[in-house]
Amino acid sequence: MDVADAGPVEDAVAAARRAFPGWSTTPAADRQARLRALRQVVLDRAEEIVATVRAETGRHPADIAVAEVLHAAAHLDWLARHTAGALAGRRTTVWPLVHKRTEVHARPRGVAAVLAPWNYPFLLALLPATTALAAGCTVVLKPSEHTPDAARLLERLVTEAGFPPDALRVVPGGAEVGELLVTADVDVVSVTGSAATGRRVAALAADRLTPVVAELGGTDAMIVLADADLRRAARAAAWGACFNAGQSCVSIERLYVVAAVHDRFLAELERAFDELTVGGGGRRDIGPMVLPATLATVQQQVRDAVAAGAQLHRGGRRVRVGSRDHLEPTLLSAVRQGSDLVQQETFGPVLPVLSVPDEETAVRLANDSAYGLQASVWTADRARGRSLAGRLRVGAVAINDCLVNYAAPGLPFGGRGASGTGRQGGVEGLRAYCFTQTLTDSRLRPRRELQWFPRIGGAGTWIRVARLLYGRPRRAPRAPSGPAAQRP
């Protein structure tokens, strides 16, 4: 799209702007009713959602049903039950303004621009779009140019659920359309994508100081301690690294295992990877790589790691099935911490394993990343796991599980560093599409306030007032005791 082709974006934003006053003043309870209706429409049209996403991505139907339909219904269900309570205004009393009535309200920001990715094209369009709608915003959605049909389907389902016209508009196109949308007359931007995309969006949004909610992926670490259930952990690692062929922001992308159980655990991983298949469509099939460019990048990361001394245990080869490319589930050990396979997001079914002498080293290496989205800790000692989790610089940690945090719509989701800013999901996710407005009203209405002109007293008067309101009596210092007290 050229600059001259900005018309569709401007038209969509203008339509959403016109729809905003009516939708933003719709009571939260009524917005919840529309969300309930959309939840039912999603369930009624589940087969169509699966078919649409499958046609665009080639993914396994069961995976689409789990990740796109089930999760979408869960998110809508949470919004339909909790939006009103999460956004309800609250009254408060603030010292020393006890003679004032004060209230704090969450007001919808306005028009939300949503930039959605291709790896979960229905779900990752629905999550931010419906959260913004629940908050009272209207939405202009730009899907990935690789998967526009899923977004168009969402637009039709929103209309079918009874949302007002132009509450959600879709503008398809490539990166240039996204840039036009971010710099248009929008009030908040949500972007899900790579760190490079997030930086570009933030730079464009900065000109108008438009707030950005960015979920930008990660290099999520898994830490396996010596007392962990190795068989369960290995099965989880195979699933967490290879679900949707590893094309998930929360995939397990590096695994640190203490040396005492490294060899035993690696053998369990080999057995778990041997059970996986590509291209067969069976219950253990991991599905295809959606984009050829992504496959090429992942294969290069694997080749570089092997050239630097990593050992390839399983996979690594491209498999062509029909019109789709697959990458065999790939397991490596003796991978260097500084390799791209560890430091960069690897969007494929690849699991690098690193042996560490102890948990302290595991924590240090897990934190040695520009990203900080999620992690998992595996141990039989729950208290130990929680303590270790608290030291990881990531947005979410699962103990003896993986990827589960994202499946709970009531929890905030997001990371730190190159993994993005802000949070999706839960109360925090809803309020990301609102601004806070504070109201004060006087209980008493004297002819004038004490601090108004003309001033009452000088600086000394107001210093005494400050000390009266906020001062604390000082305690006399304790007299020294012990041998030190006898020194001259």
> Tens digit of pLDDT for each residue in 21-41?
999 999 999 999 999 999 999
> Which helix (H) or strand (E) element contains residue 141?
strand 138-142
Question: Which DSSP string do the residues of 314-376 spell out, in sequence order?
Answer: E---EEEETTEEEE--EEEES--TTSHHHHS---SSEEEEEEESSHHHHHHHHT-SS--SEEE
Arithmetic mean of pLDDT, 60-67: 95
The pLDDT tens digits for 119-137 are 999 999 999 999 999 999 9
Are residues 198 and 291 part of one domain?
no
CA–CA distance, 216 with 196 (Å, rounded to integer)? 8
Under the banding of pLDDT at 50, 70 and 90, the label for residue 472 is confident
Domain contains 446: no
Question: What is the structure's pLDDT at 484?
Answer: 42
Domain contains 469: no
Are residues 142 and 52 part of one domain?
yes
Sheet order of strands, 374-378 included: 311-314, 330-333, 350-356, 252-258, 220-224, 374-378, 396-399
Q: How many CB atoms lie within 10 A of CB 275?
A: 11
CA–CA distance, 175 with 144 (Å, rounded to integer)? 8
The pLDDT tens digits for 69-86 are 999 999 999 999 999 999
Cβ atoms 258, 224 nearer than 8 A: yes
Return the CA Rg of the chain.
Answer: 27
Arithmetic mean of pLDDT, 281-308: 95
Strands 330-333 and 311-314 turn out to be antiparallel
Residue 395, pLDDT above cutoff 70: yes
Question: What is the structure's pLDDT at 389?
Answer: 97
In the chain, the number of structural domains is: 2
Q: How many CB atoms lie within 10 A of CB 63?
A: 20
Structural domain that includes position 394: 220-401
Question: What is the structure's pLDDT at 210?
Answer: 98
Are residues 261 and 356 part of one domain?
yes
Are residues 104 and 123 part of one domain?
yes
Are residues 302 and 203 part of one domain?
no
Question: What is the structure's pLDDT at 442?
Answer: 86
Residue 226, pLDDT above cutoff 80: yes
Are residues 171 and 59 part of one domain?
yes
Report angle CA 197, 54, 150 to the nearest 5 degrees.
Answer: 55
Question: What is the structure's pLDDT at 487?
Answer: 40
Under the banding of pLDDT at 50, 70 and 90, the label for residue 1 is very low
Domain contains 485: no
Residue 488, pLDDT above cutoff 60: no
Strands 420-421 and 212-215 turn out to be antiparallel
Residue 157, pLDDT above cutoff 50: yes
Arithmetic mean of pLDDT, 419-434: 96
> Which helix (H) or strand (E) element contains residue 460?
helix 459-470
Question: What is the structure's pLDDT at 280?
Answer: 82
Q: Which residues are catalytic?
A: 215, 249
Are residues 330 and 245 part of one domain?
yes
**Helix, coil or strand: residue 178:** helix
The Cα-based distances of 439 to 88, 98, 218, 340 in angstroms read: 14, 14, 40, 51
| Mean per-residue pLDDT of the chain | 94
CATH number at residue 86: 3.40.605.10
Residue 95, pLDDT above cutoff 90: no
0.85 exceeded by pTM: yes
The candidate with the shortest Cα–Cα distance to 352, out of 305, 411, 318, is 305
Are residues 344 and 195 part of one domain?
no
Residue 238, pLDDT above cutoff 90: yes
Residue 433, pLDDT above cutoff 90: yes
Question: What is the structure's pLDDT at 247?
Answer: 96
Residue 409, pLDDT above cutoff 70: yes
